[in-house]
Structure 1
């Protein structure tokens, strides 16, 4: 056995002693859609007339030989192979024009002689930072239509890549990514169908820490949730006797409500109420005290189910008020039959609105008076002090006289004499009645001008 092993080693040495790799393929890292090349160089002796064949192998499967690509990879034009021969060496290249995600793996260059491998290079790992296809991520739902109470399954799907992408629902919830058959990565989200989810859209984002520019999102189609009607009667049952009252059956439903039904307990006569054409409005035309305590129920129906809402009537009569108390007569038939209603009197101890307003106004007036009194005295004292310091008051007499003299010139062709007149003015108090303020008294004094006719006074 040892002899056999030794003989094989000798033969291999004879064949390979003159054949060796000058360059082995090297490990490389490239982003998808980028370019990269792997090269191996073989050297041999000049006198070696043996014809060698070169082949590239990926993950234990040959993909190219010499200058040809394996037949089943002819459509893979994203890479080419070239071979250059000389008398002492062979250069064999594997060139990727555009790297695919599937190109990630181990590559090896092998040398063949007459279909037998005689030399193999070391393995080189081509690490591809894979990018999911343009159609990813995909947001889908498990069904098109859900009924209230169903499980809702939402999926965010991406192509499986290395390094793996990160899928995340934008509502902040944390979920586990599931790898499906080693080809796709799927992120799921589970919800319980309810009316609030009708029209809901979920957003999923896809990122990769090794590819900063990669940030894509997808949105699910709006959810369609079928649910039975939600019923609400916004009006209260407190109404006044003799006044019209309306009750509206307000609903939300999917699909739409197909029928409304109104019931009264105890039953009312059909002449006592009306229902509009749509069926969701009931009107009491003339409420009476005998209708107090009646329960009115609205029922809405669609093909998913029915829902109801009721309101109890409380009929108010006219209120009797006085200055001291207010007596309200309530008819309550909850505990006894309608024929034996009891009358309860409630005395109101609260003040009326008018009394409260009057009290408030009085308080405001009193407050203003209290504030104005010190202000008034302050201003009055200030005036007195200022007047005494800066002015002197001189009191005038009640009556005073102001004499005034004048002279009346003589008329032409009269004697040379001038009449001298004296007048005075008298000021009288306002409370005395005086016909004239000025009194003129003619005196008997004359001034003569014998030698002159110029009518001037000397």
Structure 2
């Protein structure tokens, strides 16, 4: 017989065995989903492995307290169009996988899988956190300024903003590749850095760069403001040909300026005042001043120029030093010696010109005209003598210049008179002699003399062709 204590241990062992059998036959979750951290846009997969899932049981996925799926069916909501559920049977085990692709920052949360039977939750898995590493939206960084145009010495504020996400992003302002100090402001999940400074003339046409950096970006992003338009009043500088001027000469003075916007008007002032006929200002730009016939009375004259634009005006001046020049002493009748007459000194200019013209005409008449007629007469006598004296071949060496001077292609054939009228017909024909390098022997040079041809005679008797030795005229 069993004692009371032995019977108690037997009952306990039977109960444990029964529980083991029941548990081995009951539905249970053998693998729970785990935490996942991914970059925004990447894929997330959560697995839930269930053993001995019965036919009247389903697996539902939850995000926080929100139902996502019933079995493999995703709830008809556009938000979950990126979600899918797949199942893989493996003997007594079933694997349910929740997939999210592409992920967005809205997918951050706690996910669980639950076993439901007849709308009652039988089992549920451990929580699995999904962390999405957010990428800054494409619109960031965002740069803005109160205005695009500033006046020198104004307070300028430049703002650069981005969203507050995980992981955090960094912002910085830079000018000429140098980071400048900025203040940080956080409002309504927006992070803003602000750069404040006093506008300077040297900042004109410069650009200010805001740089955003994040671990989720392959490279940094940036936005810029500029080139900014800094308005400033004119800075005036006067330039002159020379500050020291010789009396009687002219001087040019230019008024140069650096201004934004451009100068709209230049104003000149001369102290002490100078007659207007000596002062000339360029009509188009009014930027150049010209003073003519300056005298020693204008020594230490101060010339000033004022340039104006919409912002203000600028001023500069220069002092002129006028040096006297050596004066030419003029003769006056009262200064002449007593034995010197002053008659003729004060003759009018027209009378002097008339006297000069008369002298020239007299010279022409008395000298040039007689010489001209003398040359004409002499030439006429020489021509008449030549006509009466026949030319012999031996006289060819004395001819200085022929009547016709050319180089024929083959031979010289002058026209012979063909009427019976008797006259003296005689022409001298010369040919050009080639240089020393030319082959003279290969060319014939002809000279023709014709004298008083008549019909009653044989003309051929008076045609004499001679081969002459080359000679130079």
TM-score by length of 1: 0.56
Answer with 216-225 or 231-240: which moved more. Answer: 231-240
- Tell me which of 22, 29, 40 is aligned to 1:32: 40
- Matched length: 299
Q: CA deviation at 1:246?
A: 1.9
Contact 1:41 1:90 in 2 (8 A): yes
Is 1:21–2:29 an aligned residue pair? yes
> What secondary structure, in the 3-state scheme, does the structure 1 residue paired with 2:140 have?
coil
Gap regions ≥5 residues in structure 2: 1-21, 327-473
After superposition, what is the alpha-carbon deviation per residue over 1:423-450, rounded to whole angstroms, capped at 9, x for unaligned?
xxxxxxxxxxxxxxxxxxxxxxxxxxxx
- Tell me which of 276, 281, 286 is aligned to 1:279: 286
What's the counterpart of residue 467 of structure 2?
none
- Tell me which of 199, 203, 224 is aligned to 2:205: 199
What's the counterpart of residue 264 of structure 1?
270
RMSD (Å) for aligned C-alpha atoms: 3.5
Is 1:132–2:136 an aligned residue pair? yes
Distance (whole Å) between structure 2 residues aligned to residue 67 and residue 45 of structure 1: 14
What's the counterpart of residue 225 of structure 1?
230
Distance (whole Å) between structure 2 residues aligned to residue 61 and residue 270 of structure 1: 95
Tell me: CA distance 1:67–1:273, structure 2 relative to 1, closer, same or farther (3 Å). Answer: farther
Gap regions ≥5 residues in structure 1: 1-13, 320-458
Contact 1:53 1:113 in 2 (8 A): no
What's the counterpart of residue 389 of structure 1?
none
Contact 2:183 2:195 in 1 (8 A): no
Distance (whole Å) between structure 2 residues aligned to residue 52 and residue 310 of structure 1: 97
Tell me: CA distance 1:83–1:151, structure 2 relative to 1, closer, same or farther (3 Å). Answer: farther
Distance (whole Å) between structure 2 residues aligned to residue 207 and residue 312 of structure 1: 60
Q: CA deviation at 1:90?
A: 5.7
Distance (whole Å) between structure 2 residues aligned to residue 226 and residue 80 of structure 1: 61
Q: CA deviation at 1:218?
A: 3.0
Distance (whole Å) between structure 2 residues aligned to residue 294 and residue 116 of structure 1: 109
Tell me: CA distance 1:45–1:259, structure 2 relative to 1, closer, same or farther (3 Å). Answer: closer
Q: CA deviation at 1:70?
A: 5.2
Is 1:80–2:84 an aligned residue pair? yes
What's the counterpart of residue 314 of structure 1?
321
After superposition, what is the alpha-carbon deviation per residue over 1:171-203, rounded to whole angstroms, capped at 9, x for unaligned?
222434444421x43333223223322211122
**What aligned pairs does 1:394-433 form with structure 2 within 5 A after superposition?**
none
Q: Per residue, is there more helix in 1 or in 2?
A: 2
- Tell me which of 139, 145, 151 is aligned to 1:147: 151
Distance (whole Å) between structure 1 residues aligned to residue 61 and residue 240 of structure 2: 87
Is 1:238–2:243 an aligned residue pair? yes
After superposition, what is the alpha-carbon deviation per residue over 1:321-365, rounded to whole angstroms, capped at 9, x for unaligned?
xxxxxxxxxxxxxxxxxxxxxxxxxxxxxxxxxxxxxxxxxxxxx
**What aligned pairs does 1:55-454 form with structure 2 within 5 A after superposition?**
55-58=61-64, 61-69=66-74, 72=77, 74-75=78-79, 77-82=81-86, 91-112=95-116, 119-168=123-172, 169=174, 170-182=177-189, 184-208=190-214, 210-211=215-216, 213-235=218-240, 238-242=243-247, 243-277=249-283, 278-317=285-324
Contact 1:36 1:96 in 2 (8 A): yes
Contact 1:249 1:298 in 2 (8 A): yes
